[in-house]
Structure 1
Amino acid sequence: MSKKNSDEYWKQREQDEQDWINENIKNDDDFNKHLQEYYQELIDRINKDISNQLIRYAEAEGADLSEARQRVSDEDVKAFENKAKSIVRKAEKIRKRKGFVSRSDFSKEINARMRLYNATMRINRLEMLKAQIGLEIMDTNLDVHDDVDQRLSNDYLGELKRQAGILAMYESQHNYKDVAKVIMAQTKNATFSERIWANTDVLKANLDRELTQAIIRGENPRELASRLRKYVAEGVGNVTNVTERIARTESARVLNKAQIESFKKAGYKKCKWVAEGSACKICRGYALDNDGIFDIKDLPVWPVHPNCMCSTTPWYKKEEE
Structure 2
Amino acid sequence: MVELGAFEQEGLEKMLQEAYKNGYLSTMKGLDSASSFFSVNNEAMAKTLNEKWTNGANFSERIWENKEKLINTLNNEIRDGIIRGDSYQKMNMTLRKRTEVGAYESLRLTVTESSFVTNQANKQAFMDAGIERYEISAVLDKRTSQTCEHLDGQQFKFKDAKVGSNFPPFHPWCRTTIFGIEND
- TM class, shorter-length: 0.7 to 0.9
Q: Which sections of structure 2, spanning at least 5 residues, go unmatched?
A: none
The separation in 2 between residues aligned to 1:261 and 1:228, in whole angstroms, is: 49
Q: 2:116 aligns with which of 247, 253, 274?
A: 253
1:316 matched to 2:182? The reply is yes
Cα displacement (A) at 1:298: 3.6
Cα displacement (A) at 1:142: 2.8
Contact 1:160 / 1:171 at 8 angstroms: preserved in 2?
Answer: no
Cα displacement (A) at 1:238: 0.8
Please list every run of at least 4 consecutive aligned residues from structure 1 whose deviation after the TM superposition is greater than 3 angstroms.
Answer: 213-217
Tell me which residue corresponds to 2:156. 294
Cα displacement (A) at 1:232: 1.3
Distance 1:158 1:232, change over 3 A: same
- What aligned pairs does 1:12-27 form with structure 2 within 5 A after superposition? none
The separation in 2 between residues aligned to 1:283 and 1:154, in whole angstroms, is: 26
* SS in structure 2 of the partner of residue 273 of structure 1: strand
1:158 matched to 2:22? The reply is yes
Cα displacement (A) at 1:245: 1.0
Q: Which sections of structure 1, spanning at least 5 residues, go unmatched?
A: 1-136
Contact 1:156 / 1:258 at 8 angstroms: preserved in 2?
Answer: yes
Cα displacement (A) at 1:183: 1.0
* SS in structure 1 of the partner of residue 179 of structure 2: strand
- What aligned pairs does 1:90-169 form with structure 2 within 5 A after superposition? 137-167=1-31, 168-169=34-35
* SS in structure 1 of the partner of residue 175 of structure 2: coil
What amino acid is aligned across from residue 195 of structure 1 in structure 2? R
Distance 1:306 1:163, change over 3 A: same
Contact 1:283 / 1:310 at 8 angstroms: preserved in 2?
Answer: yes
Cα displacement (A) at 1:214: 3.6
What amino acid is aligned across from residue 105 of structure 2 in structure 1? V
1:238 matched to 2:104? The reply is no
* SS in structure 1 of the partner of residue 87 of structure 2: helix
Q: 1:203 aligns with which of 65, 70, 74?
A: 70
- TM-score, normalised to structure 2, is 0.84
* Higher gyration radius (CA): 1
Question: C-alpha deviations, 1:32-82, integer Å up to 9, x for none?
Answer: xxxxxxxxxxxxxxxxxxxxxxxxxxxxxxxxxxxxxxxxxxxxxxxxxxx
User: Among the aligned pairs, what percent are the same residue?
Assistant: 24
Q: 1:184 aligns with which of 47, 50, 63?
A: 50
- TM-score, normalised to structure 1, is 0.50
1:275 matched to 2:142? The reply is no
Cα displacement (A) at 1:178: 4.4
* SS in structure 1 of the partner of residue 45 of structure 2: helix
What amino acid is aligned across from residue 52 of structure 2 in structure 1? Q
The separation in 2 between residues aligned to 1:193 and 1:305, in whole angstroms, is: 18
Higher helix share: 1
Report the RMSD for the aligned CA atoms in angstroms: 2.0
What amino acid is aligned across from residue 304 of structure 1 in structure 2? F
What amino acid is aligned across from residue 294 of structure 1 in structure 2? F
Question: C-alpha deviations, 1:80-118, integer Å up to 9, x for none?
Answer: xxxxxxxxxxxxxxxxxxxxxxxxxxxxxxxxxxxxxxx
Aligned length: 174
Cα displacement (A) at 1:173: 4.0
